[in-house]
Amino acid sequence: MLPLIFTLALITPPPAPPDGTYTYVSAMNGTTIGKTAITVTHDAAGSVLLTENGSGNMNGQSGSIQDTLTLDSALAPSAYNALASLGDSKSMKSTLSFKGSEATQSGDVNKKYDLVADAKHFVLMDFGPFTGFFAIPAQMQAWNSPPVIAIVPMYGQGFPLTVDAALKPNRPASVPAADQAISFNSMVQITLWYDPKTLVVDEVDVPSQGVTVKRSP
């Protein structure tokens, strides 16, 4: 019996947000700039698919985003596709594939990213799409909050990212009392507030940019 229990423990996928659709509203300095919806589905192999559709308006320019982020059974990204439209004429496309310690981007930007230093995982922190941020609490829990390489496909950048346990952000009034926070302080300070039971993000705060993204009932 013990060998069987041990085997099952090895193959049981780590917790991830449950299937469903989650809606978020983003604001800058208190002014609403966008709304997005992320649909979560799981397959029989334990992979998680995050599908997003969003739109917004900033500085008089409208835009939309459609993207999909696929996570493997260990919650590591295995594929990513994003298509953003700005105004009536400009669009941006990003595709990422992952193999071992390397990620390859194609589309408007062609680039390779490598796991460096102590990082053993990639995460997505694209600006506009929200799927990468949505996945981070579950990923950090599954991996015990290690250093990672964050990829920002829109800008063709990758950079080391580490959880900053020293940051003690004030709890926003809109965040549920039971929520936990996970903060990063690399390129900019970012705090994600999430439900520790479901691992669903309730709010993301980027103080230096005056940006908040809040889950909408």
* Residue 212 reports pLDDT greater than 70: yes
Query: Residue 39 class from Cβ within 10 Å (0-12 exposed, 13-18 middle, 19+ buried)?
Result: middle
* Residue 67 reports pLDDT greater than 70: yes
Task: Report pLDDT for 45.
Answer: 86
Residue 89 pLDDT class (50, 70, 90 cuts): low
Residue 16 pLDDT class (50, 70, 90 cuts): very high
The mean per-residue pLDDT over the stretch 171-179 comes to 95
Task: Report pLDDT for 2.
Answer: 52
Task: Report pLDDT for 6.
Answer: 46
Q: Which two tokens stand for residue 89?
A: 């004429």
DSSP 34-94: EEEEEEEEE-TTS-EEEEEEEEEEETTEEEEEEEEEEE-TTS-EEEEEEEEEETTTEEEEE
* Distance between CA atoms of residues 181 and 26, nearest Å: 18
* Residue 3 reports pLDDT greater than 70: no
Task: Report pLDDT for 40.
Answer: 98
Task: Report pLDDT for 4.
Answer: 47
* Residue 120 reports pLDDT greater than 50: yes
Which has more pLDDT, 117 or 16? 16
* Residue 8 reports pLDDT greater than 50: no
Task: Report pLDDT for 175.
Answer: 96
Task: Write down the pTM of the prediction.
Answer: 0.91
